[in-house]
Amino acid sequence: MTVANAPVLVSDVAQAQPGRHPITEPAGPTKRSLLGVLARYLGLAPFALYVLVFLAVPTVLAIVTGFFTADGGFTLDNLAGLFSPLVLATFASSFWVSAITAVIGAVVGALVCYALLGTRAGGALRSFIDSASSVLAQFGGVMLAFAFIAAIGSQSLLTLWLKSTFGVDIYADGVWLYQPAGLLVVYTYFQVPLMVITFLPALEGLKTQWAEANATLGGTRLTYWTRIAFPVLAPSFFGSLLLLFANAFSSYATAAALVSQGSPIVPLQIRAALVSETVLGRENMAGALALGMVVVMVVVMWGYSVLQARTSRWQR
């Protein structure tokens, strides 16, 4: 990634340098300005080096280790392992957990945004929901798992009360909280606030004039929503949906703290591969799983950025 910049850097000097600071730097390639150019590029070095060592190298290592055996020989064995029934099933359940929580999160989050329309932008209600959403969207991992064990675990007040008052045992078919079904409930908790944060700006971008124009032309509230608001909001809504999907798909900590048995989703499968070194009797399987995840993430985030570009047309 950093290597690819090189041609850009060169052309950049050629065009951007003359006349940049006419007073302090006289025109013409004097020795001083050459040194200045060099110094400026040196200024980029620390960040470039840092990103190279701690982002580019680990990413490349994570993706390519799957192609090598423990002795360093090339192999496609791990890649083939991605298509074994067990791993495919893991990807499928990761997909469904992410897709279902993304859809629920997007719909509920959009409803909350809709409810906030017409409230004062800087008002107490709006800013409280803004702040609470940004906290809860970050509230993943161990603490979230604890919260749900306290809230709907088998010994929680709610569970005991439902059992004693209504005779309803939510865990009659086994304690699903610690299984993928539990992840659906728990992930939704950080998906909805994330939707509120990402979708609210788009909804705020709806202009009152559009509604007025619609009313002037004899439109109803229904035509306003179907003909104007939905088409304008659709790219942003589906973009946010993809972001939510990516968010759930890449989430590890919550599942690690909650799921008690096995590795039903891909991130937990990677943990198993890292910890035990061998999954399915294959070495370096973690690398192949990481590659599989990155492929999914790149596709999803690419879709997100395409939709995001369409969204920003209306937010100017």
Partner 1 sequence: MTVKNSVRIGTEPNAVARWVILGVVGIVFAFPILAMVEFTFRDGLSGAHTLDHWTGLFDEDAARTYRNLFTGIGNSLLLAVVTVGIVLVVLLPTMILVHLQFPRLRRVLEFICIVPITVPAIVLVVGLAPVYSVVVQVAGGSIWTLAFAYGITVLPYAYRAIQSNLDAVDVVTLSEAGRTLSADWGRVLWFILLPNLKRGVLAASFISVAVVLGEFTIASLLNRVNLQTALLQIGSSDPYVAIIFALLALLFAFVLLVSIGRIGRSRRTGSDS
The interface with partner 1 within residues 40-69 (CB under 8 A) comprises 40, 43-44, 46-47, 50-51, 53-55, 57-63, 65
6 touches partner 1 (CB under 8 A): no
308 touches partner 1 (CB under 8 A): no
For residues 111 and 117, the answer to whether their CB atoms sit within 8 Å is no
Among 32, 70, 107, 131, binds partner 1 (CB under 8 A): 131
202 touches partner 1 (CB under 8 A): no
CB of 30 to partner 1, least distance (A): 17
The Cα–Cα gap between 89 and 263 comes to 11
205 touches partner 1 (CB under 8 A): no
Q: What are the CA-CA distances from residue 315 to residues 111, 129, 207, 228, 276 (Å)? A: 20, 22, 10, 15, 50
108 touches partner 1 (CB under 8 A): yes
Among 35, 76, 215, 306, binds partner 1 (CB under 8 A): 215
106 touches partner 1 (CB under 8 A): no
At 118 the three-state DSSP class reads coil
Q: Which residue has the tokens 């599989």?
A: 292
Residue list 134-193, contact with partner 1 (CB under 8 A):
134-136, 138-143, 146-152, 155-158, 189, 192-193
CB of 11 to partner 1, least distance (A): 8
**Nearest C-alpha neighbor of 205 from the set 226, 246, 242, 235:** 235
User: What single-letter amino acid sits at 118?
Assistant: G
Q: Cα 301 from chain centroid?
A: 8
